[in-house]
Chains A and B, each alone.
Chain A
Amino acid sequence: MENELKLASGAMVALAVATAALVVLPYIQVRDLKAPAALKPYTEQQLNGRAVYVANGCVYCHSQQPRDRNLAPDFSRGWGRPSVPADYVYDKPHLLGTMRTGPDLFNIGARQPSKDWHLGHLYQPRAYVPESIMPAYPFLFRLKDAAETGDQTVALPPNYAPVGKVVVASQDALDLVKYLQALDHTYPVLPAPDTP
């Protein structure tokens, strides 16, 4: 081949086809999606918690996309119905995830609503799930000699509480738990309507 213009235009046409299929068509298809009535926008605190989730890369071990029953037993594990595009209208960046080193979190708020459990589990996962390989997040907490007013102390199982100290949750930890509690997509959705 002798012509660099043919090379460049051919290469660009090939990529344009791919872009049309994987970027532009999905854009057109989901652009006008309405949020399901039961799905609430995130509050400011939940959004901050979501930012903590993003900043610490929770997405690299936890998906947020339960699969269909005929593909995998996600539903019987209590992870919820298969998700639909409308579930994600408030999600930016998307956190669908590609790994399940840990369980799917799309409905963790419904499955485990306890704030105390989440705080303690973030501080030391193995206090609650001995075989867990989830990292501990002690940097989201502070150790103090005694709790001050307004401090949210973390109730830990015996053997895991530091001796003579109390564990106080930081604002980031509290916000993250608020976000996790908000991950509740148990409301019913109609099957995705056929686009004409």
Chain B
Amino acid sequence: MDSAILSLLGAFLLSIIGLFGFIWSLRKGLLVENPAAASVIFARGEVGKIDDPALAGDEQHKMQAAAHPDAVSAVDAAEIADRVDADRSSAFPVFMFIAFACFWLLIGSLAGLISSIKLHEPDWLVQQAWLGFGRIRTIHLNAVIYGWSSNAALAVILWVLPRLLRTRLHGAIWAMLGGTFINAGITAGIGAIAAGWTDGMEFLEIPWQIDIFIFAGFALVILSALYTLVNRRVEHLYVSVWYMVAALLWFAVLFGVANLPGVHTGVQQATTNWWYGHNALGLWFTPVSVGAIYYFLPKIIGRPVVSYNLSLLGFWTLAFFYGQVGGHHLIGGPVPGWLTTLSIVQSVMMIIPVIAFTINMKGTLKGQMHLARYSPTLRFMMFGGLMYLASSVQGSFEALRSVNAVTHFTHFTVAHAHLGMYAFVSMVMFGAIYFMLPRVLDWEWPYPRLITLHFWLAALGMAIYFVGLSIGGWLQGMAMLDAARSFNESMTLTVPWLKSRSVGGVLMTLGHLVFVGHFFAMALRFGPHRTGAALFWQTKELAHGK
């Protein structure tokens, strides 16, 4: 009892003290706003210029007119040239990671759709072990978590870092070697899961022997990123750099510790499992996505983030609170009470970074929301940012014991997880890829309407998925808590909602087919040739194919 209270209090006080200590040490002038720091993502004279490479030329002019009709200042050519160099140095590795991400997105969507249908058609595809629900569902999870999202996240990091550090990507070849290791590992891991060789824990199914390759690959990518960081040619590190560099370091530690063989056992293994499981989202995908929004969103609308200090508060509160929330997956389970309590407290504290982020984005977008009509990239980013707020606030409440008693063990949790990983993280990644790829390939998106189609398929599919499954999950939880109703009732009543989930899943998968098809069309240089108009700078000779 004493140790329980002491450790709880200790960790909590430490978080608070650490938080304020860092805010104090990092920024002595805590309340002085710092517009210069927020503007480092722009070249001199670039503030006020909209930037969306996914738009064709005349569309860009329309958007510029809608945003800042009178922005005419000349942009510093030297800084733009630096940026072109940065983009050029990262183009090849970034393209490689995006291509892998697209591949795994298709595999993951298909596996997800099959799993979803199997839940209401239990006698469909049962003859092969690898198509069994327990395996194909796990293939889905690993393909989308490690294959799609992680590859996309690495592409964003490797593309944004050189731009923000105003240098070329150092060690690009090592990053690509790392990417090869990672994706070879994911392929082997998914093959192993299909064959029934698994470590058996959610998010940690890939056998640890294969994890060695993935870890080595990550280490190589991280080395390249860190080498770029220390060779930077800017004084100030923009907030996206903190998010992304910290995320890389966090993920390396998380992945390494959680996969250590022969250490974890029994309920301690369960707490480690969820320390890892939630932090994969909280300290890997979330900071990369938030960092991406902090770069792309102001860049697209040509206006710096309104409050740089709020972004700082958001970063350190996220760092301190998010790491400790994993225990809320074990509420009511055979784990020490202080642990779940600590996790519940920190889950609720997560409201602080989320609100800080939201206020900041709302302020930055003030009066510019209408630009989402013009810019598909902005639409993805705004949608993702809004869903970060939604999923995080939902998560904070879901961690409360009274709510968790209903939602634990139900499909409600699954819906929540997809709100975070899809509506937030994946949508931000889509937006970032639509922005990056024209710069990476020096080519326009050949069919801009497909971007809009993809957006609506994804958004609509996600909405159907989330609403239906949340209702079904909640009813399931209520039935499970009612001793007067049989357990089987809690199962059968979910079936219509599971079917609606499959409908949402079909729409999302269709969206991915459109997206990946578009990606291939672009990579193979299909479509009308309009390069130059989409490029903000027109410094390069256009030498591809002609």
Contacts and interface: CB of A to CB of B under 8 A. Distances in A.
Interface of A: 1-2, 4, 6-8, 10-15, 17-23, 25-27, 29-31, 33, 54-61, 63, 65, 67-68, 71-73, 76-77, 82-85, 87-89, 91-103, 125-126, 129, 131-139, 194-196
A23 B269 CA distance: 8
B324 A26 contact: no
Interface in B277-309: 279, 283
A82 B3 CA distance: 22
Contacts of B335: 26, 85
B271 A22 contact: yes
A95 B339 CA distance: 19
B267 A85 contact: yes
B245 A98 contact: no
A2 B40 CA distance: 13
A71 B333 CA distance: 10
Interface string B220-235: 0000000001100001
Contact of A94 (B25, B137, B273): B273
Contacts, number: 252
Contact of B249 (A8, A82, A102): A8
Given A15-B253, A17-B11, A135-B133, A55 B198 contact: yes
B336 interface: yes
A77 B44 CA distance: 69
Contact of B230 (A4, A22, A76): A4
13 contacts: A15-B253, A18-B275, A21-B342, A22-B339, A26-B335, A27-B268, A55-B129, A60-B134, A91-B269, A93-B201, A96-B267, A96-B334, A138-B126
B271 A26 contact: yes
A192 B137 CA distance: 36
Interface string B469-488: 00000000000111100011
A136 B275 CA distance: 33
A33 B490 CA distance: 36
B269 A94 contact: yes
B263 to A, nearest CB: 8
A2 B201 contact: no
Given A60-B133, A100-B409, A76 B483 contact: yes
A92 B237 contact: no
Given A96-B267, A96-B334, 16 more contacts: A1-B236, A7-B237, A8-B245, A15-B283, A18-B326, A22-B326, A27-B268, A56-B135, A57-B198, A71-B332, A96-B270, A99-B413, A100-B409, A100-B490, A135-B118, A137-B126
B126 A139 contact: yes
A93 B320 contact: no
B410 interface: yes
B133 A26 contact: no
A6 B134 CA distance: 43
- Closest 4 interchain pairs by CB? A57-B134, A18-B323, A55-B196, A73-B483
A72 B332 contact: yes
Contact of A22 (B138, B274, B490, B491): B274
Contacts of B538: none
A136 B123 contact: yes
Interface stretch (B14-22, B66-74, B432-440, B447-455): B14-22
A145 B275 CA distance: 51
A21 B270 contact: no
Contacts of B118: 135
A8 B27 CA distance: 16
Nearest to A7: B242
A42 B204 CA distance: 24
B319 interface: yes
A82 B342 CA distance: 21
B88 interface: no
B488 A139 contact: no
Contact of B18 (A13, A55, A82, A101): A13
Nearest to B318: A14
A56 B334 contact: no
Nearest to B316: A10
Interface in B119-147: 119-120, 122-123, 126-129, 132-135, 137-138
